[in-house]
Structure 1
Amino acid sequence: MYGIQKVSELTGVSPITLRAWENRYGIIKPDRTDGGTRIYSEQDIEKLNWVIQQKNDKAISIKQAMQLLKDREKREQKNQLNPNNYDWYIDKIYLTLKNHYMDEATNYIDFLVDTLGHEQTFHDFFIPVLTKIGLSWENDDLSVAEEHFMSHYIQQRIAEYFYQLEVKQPKQTAIAVCPTDEMHQIGLLLFSIFLKKQGINVLFIGENTPADSLIDLINKRNINLLAASFTLASSINQLTNLIDTVREAAPNLDIVIGGQNLQLLPEDYQRYQIGHTVAAWKEWLNH
């Protein structure tokens, strides 16, 4: 471990500049002692020397060299991630949420998002975590309050990304709804993100939506597509009522239904069903 003065001697960068780089770029961040003194590791020094070498060899600015370092670290992190160790991250996210270690959970998730992107993180990590949460609740390993807390945190992370996405010059406009008494909407959120990425604007209505409340919105906003979630077997009548209501009011409206209980759909509604994978969504879109 090295103090800032020694690091300055080893790298040829003044302490003032080292502190400025830390504050400005936030990539090389040394540990601190209890008294606040900066302590650099061998790895920190390697990074500093690498940045300086890139700057000199390529005749680029420090800002550009720091970006190269950031890109290098992302590649290294991505190479360390593979399906064989996904379960480790899934367990870590589950346990940190269960124990309310929110900063730690956020750090794991931010790392995955930075390395793999939002959508792969959602599908490859959030869905298994949610499955684990559901099974733990069914086995009485989680209380209702704990299950809600953990699920809502994940839903919030997905929703934040959904609302950040902008669709410029949308090809169509869709509404995404859950029928009355249906409260599970995370799968619907993921499908809505998929639609946005395909250039389709989405008005996310979400859980527990009465059928009659949709008609004015469909007509006023020239809605082309209705996406509905069906996860609770007990909401089958509410779902079919919703579909019947919108079909009568807007006969040309495209309809798609996703969820865990598609096998319960009456025959007349089975043509609207869609699988739960991105591959199934792409096949539906291109059909």
Structure 2
Amino acid sequence: MNNIKQDFTIKDLENISGIKAHTIRIWEKRYNLLQPKRTETNIRLYSNENLQKLLNIVLLNNHNFKISKIAKMSDEELILQSRELAFTTSINDEALNSFKLAMFQFDKQLFNSAYNKLLQKKTFREIFKEVFVPFLNHIGLLWQTETLKPANEHFISNLIAQKILINIEEIQFNNSNTTKTYVLFLPENEIHELGLLYLNYELVLRGFHTIYLGQSLPLNNLDYFLESKNEISFITSLTIKPYDDKIEDYFKEVNAAIADTNHTFIATGNKVNKVKHLKLNERIQLYDSMLDLLNVL
């Protein structure tokens, strides 16, 4: 595929692997572990194969393999040792490496293979909390450092979303907890919905009735539910939107919307810290993360 990222800078490798560029240069010079190309201006450019090799090196090094010993391994031995380690003590690390490579190479087969290996030892809930959450946090870092392109994020996010939806479909819908309805949505122009999708999964798993409205929903689109006499808990996740200069106005609008109702409004995400100083309706609940909310549901 022509749109697969073929070349990585040493800064890219640092951001993806967590190993400082200075250390990578030392490994390269002293042990000849990587063989980058160089531009006419002498800038190092690393291939997908270099990235994969570095991730395997880091996996072994993090589990007490000395760099001097790793350097003596052939490429085939390095891969075999990494796989063996993955099936014993660090399947999460190996999966994270595979997910990173799958994201940059647009490789659905690699993603599914790593996911299916995880399923041999973990439940879906464990996979999401122990592997997908750290991976998504890492994606956020790659965004900040401009290592990641939107196409890469959209590709991997859609694959994870598919797994959540499959697991929701497999749940026996018994709706045993029918005292309230949860309406899940994202604010207008907010598209980062994986956390919200997983919340929907957890609520359905626990027998609650949910209505999933998805991405980019203006508050006035909730009027039908706000006018309901039944108790409703609205849940939203604030990752990017509303922007900082609009966030207080957004919650003031929420405050007014639920003022004369028996509904609750739950917001998660890093944006909630921007409004914790406001005097809000007691039925507005703020949680720093989706996992914090799950602990009290």
CA deviation profile, 1:7-53 (whole Å, cap 9, x unmatched): xxxxxxxxxxxxxxxxxxxxxxxxxxxxxxxxxxxxxxxxxxxxxxx
Report the CA distance between 1:263 and its aligned residue: 0.9
Question: Within 2, Cα distance between the matches of 1:85 and 1:114?
Answer: 10
Q: Which residue of 2 aligns with 1:63?
A: none
Residue 284 of structure 1 aligns to a residue whose secondary structure is coil
- 8 Å Cα contact 2:182-2:233 kept in structure 1: yes
Question: Within 1, Cα distance between the matches of 2:102 and 2:200?
Answer: 28
Q: Does 1:123 pair with 2:133?
A: no
Q: Does 1:103 pair with 2:109?
A: yes
Q: Write out the 4+ residue segments of structure 1 that deviate beyond 4 Å after TM superposition.
A: 79-82, 218-221
Residue 110 of structure 1 aligns to a residue whose secondary structure is helix
> Which of the numbers 206, 230, 236 marks the counterpart of 2:247?
236
Question: What stretches of structure 1 of length at least 5 have no aligned partner?
Answer: 1-76
Change (3 A) 1:284 1:275: farther
Across the aligned residues of Structure 1 and Structure 2, the Cα RMSD in angstroms comes to: 2.8
Report the CA distance between 1:156 and its aligned residue: 2.5
Residue 148 of structure 2 aligns to a residue whose secondary structure is coil
- 8 Å Cα contact 1:180-1:239 kept in structure 2: no
Q: Does 1:186 pair with 2:199?
A: no
- 8 Å Cα contact 2:91-2:118 kept in structure 1: no
- 8 Å Cα contact 1:90-1:125 kept in structure 2: yes
Question: Within 2, Cα distance between the matches of 1:277 and 1:253?
Answer: 20
Question: Within 2, Cα distance between the matches of 1:103 and 1:242?
Answer: 45
Residue 169 of structure 1 aligns to a residue whose secondary structure is coil
- 8 Å Cα contact 2:267-2:286 kept in structure 1: yes
Q: Which residue of 1 aligns with 2:59?
A: none
Give 1:242-261 correspondences, 5 Å limit: 243-244=254-255, 246-248=257-259, 251-261=261-271
Look up the equivalent residue of 2:289 and give its one-letter code. H
Report the CA distance between 1:134 and its aligned residue: 2.5
Question: Within 1, Cα distance between the matches of 2:255 and 2:290?
Answer: 26
> Which of the numbers 137, 142, 147 marks the counterpart of 2:143?
137
Question: Within 2, Cα distance between the matches of 1:238 and 1:184?
Answer: 21
Residue 287 of structure 2 aligns to a residue whose secondary structure is coil
Q: Does 1:86 pair with 2:101?
A: no
> Which of the numbers 204, 208, 218 marks the counterpart of 1:210?
218
Report the CA distance between 1:109 and its aligned residue: 0.6
- 8 Å Cα contact 2:235-2:267 kept in structure 1: yes
Report the CA distance between 1:192 and its aligned residue: 2.0
Change (3 A) 1:228 1:264: same
- 8 Å Cα contact 1:96-1:104 kept in structure 2: yes
Question: Within 2, Cα distance between the matches of 1:80 and 1:150?
Answer: 23
- 8 Å Cα contact 1:134-1:147 kept in structure 2: no
Look up the equivalent residue of 1:257 and give its one-letter code. A
Report the CA distance between 1:97 and its aligned residue: 2.8
Report the CA distance between 1:262 and its aligned residue: 1.8
Question: Within 2, Cα distance between the matches of 1:97 and 1:221?
Answer: 45
> Which of the numbers 254, 260, 272 marks the counterpart of 2:285?
272
Q: Does 1:112 pair with 2:118?
A: yes
Query: So what's the TM-score if we normalise by structure 2?
Result: 0.60
Report the CA distance between 1:238 and its aligned residue: 6.4
Q: Number of residues paired by the alignment?
A: 205
Please say which structure displays the higher CA radius of gyration: 1
Report the CA distance between 1:147 and its aligned residue: 2.0
Greater helix content: 1
CA deviation profile, 1:39-92 (whole Å, cap 9, x unmatched): xxxxxxxxxxxxxxxxxxxxxxxxxxxxxxxxxxxxxx9x9565x442221111
